[in-house]
Amino acid sequence: MKKILLFMFTVLLMASCGSGGSEDTEENSYLVHLITVDPGHFHAALVQKIMYDEVAPDVFVFAPEGPDYQQHIERINAYNERQENPTGWNEIVYTGADFLKVMLEDKPGNVVVLSGNNQRKDEYILRSLDAGLNVLADKPMIIYPEDYIKLEQAFFIAKDKKILLYDIMSERYEITTILQKLLSSEEEIFGNLITGTEEEPAVTKESVHHFSKMVSGVPLQRPAWFFDVEQQGEGIVDVTTHLVDLIQWECFPEQILSKSDVNMVLAKRWPTVITRDEFTRVTGLIVFPDYLQKDIKDGKLNVFCNGEMVYQIKGIWAKVSVTWNYEAPQGGGDTHFSIMRGTGCDLIIRQGAEENYIPVLYIDNIRVDDFTTKLKEKLDALPYDSLSFEVVNGNMLKINIPEKYRTTHEDHFGQVTAKFLEYLKEGTMPEWEIAGMLTKYYTTTSALKKALGQ
């Protein structure tokens, strides 16, 4: 009965969405058929900002009634209707309280995309995998320490059923981070990563984000639940996921890590205070919902979206910090700071006002003879042409990167989805990816546990 209802709904949607859908023979020729479940975050739409040769244009959306899925559809429509490189997605929507049950019964696709309210994400992941569906999930996949065992179970199911579970680590595709990783592997210039200390870690990554921002050229309207740490997750288990991932990816490339490699030493959390007017501007709601009342103090909302951790991974000291402000300074945006300290030099990424809020890679504290000659040789050998450098601020070097290698945060979602599609075509992913995801979420949830004094 559910399949009949969904089919009838599909026909109506195809008649109204403009693309008219695809013939069965055409649809069956695609490797991937997407199913979007409960999209509540704009990242769900960014996965579809471009088209992919392997992915069918008909996308099935299963969601509860409400503004979350409606905003998702509006974003997809905007991509379809833009003048430059418009997409051709056809969203086929089923809404209702039983949306997950219907999706699992009908299974109209083979890849579930998850990006939204994190409160039920572990359930969505487990039940989708158990139904034999691949999962591409936005971070974080879990938000509580007690859910780690569920993530272990999820990867066990995926392995048993020979399907994939992958999280969207978009920051791996930032060119300055790529170059920082590549140059850190060049012993002639970087040397070896130092061990560091608790006070001065070998690697530090800091990120500043903003509640009020522009996405795809329009002001972002966030759902009210985004401000509830019981639904979105605390900052120390949310954005930190990217930073912990980058530390593993850069410092221990393609190495199989485990939770036994992690020693969480220090962790803390603190709130960003938001007025009712600020809340209204970014959500469109006049009052705070009941579920946020627990976080109201003196008429203002306290969101524990900030966190910091200091830990050791395979004996190397690391520090991760995430801060959320309400909005960026004029002309600014989200920012990233990163430093890797080697025996030969330090590799530093800055994205502040001095850099016009564009990530820039610097090399400092150089301790290698004939460094510039060696650096030029290494840059020329990289798979990126026209890289150069210049001296700034005394002895510091700045890496000049051609504009053609500069991609935006939004572009990165297409790149990471393309990587997932490669793994899907191969039918497997490297063991280090799976081990890295488990280690990463053990790290973030251990930090929350430490910060809460548990």
Q: H/E/C letters for each residue in the chain?
A: CHHHHHHHHHHHHHHHCCCCCCCHHHHHCCCECEEEECCCCCHHHHCCCCCCCCECCEEEEEECCCHHHHHHHHHHHHHHHCCCCCCCCEEEEEECCCHHHHHHHHCCCCEEEECCCHHHHHHHHHHHHHCCCEEEECCCCCCCHHHHHHHHHHHHHHHHHCCCEEECCHHHHCHHHHHHHHHHCCHHHHCCECCECCCCECEEEEEEEEEECEECCEECCCCHHHHCCCCCCCHHHCCHHHHHHHHHHHHCCCCCCCHHHEEEEEEEEEEEEECHHHHHHHHCCCCCCHHHHHHEECCEEEEEEEEEEEEEECCEEEEEEEEEEEECCCCCCCEEEEEEEECCCEEEEECCHHHCCCCEEEEECCCCCCHHHHHHHHHHHCCCCCCEEEEECCCEEEEECCHHHCCCHHHHHHHHHHHHHHHHHHCCCCHHHHHHHHHHHHHHHHHHHHHCCC
Domain with CATH 3.30.360.10 in the chain: 172-412
pLDDT range class, residue 9, cuts 50, 70, 90: very low
Global pTM reads 0.92
Q: What is the per-residue pLDDT for 250?
A: 98
Residue 294 has pLDDT above 90, yes or no: yes
Residue 379 has pLDDT above 70, yes or no: yes
Q: Give the pLDDT mean for 436-452.
A: 98
Average pLDDT, the chain: 93
pLDDT range class, residue 24, cuts 50, 70, 90: low
Q: Give the pLDDT mean for 33-53.
A: 96
The fold of 2-167 is Rossmann fold (3.40.50)
Domain with CATH 3.40.50.720 in the chain: 2-167
Q: Which CATH architecture has domain 172-412?
A: 2-Layer Sandwich (3.30)
Q: What is the per-residue pLDDT for 215?
A: 74
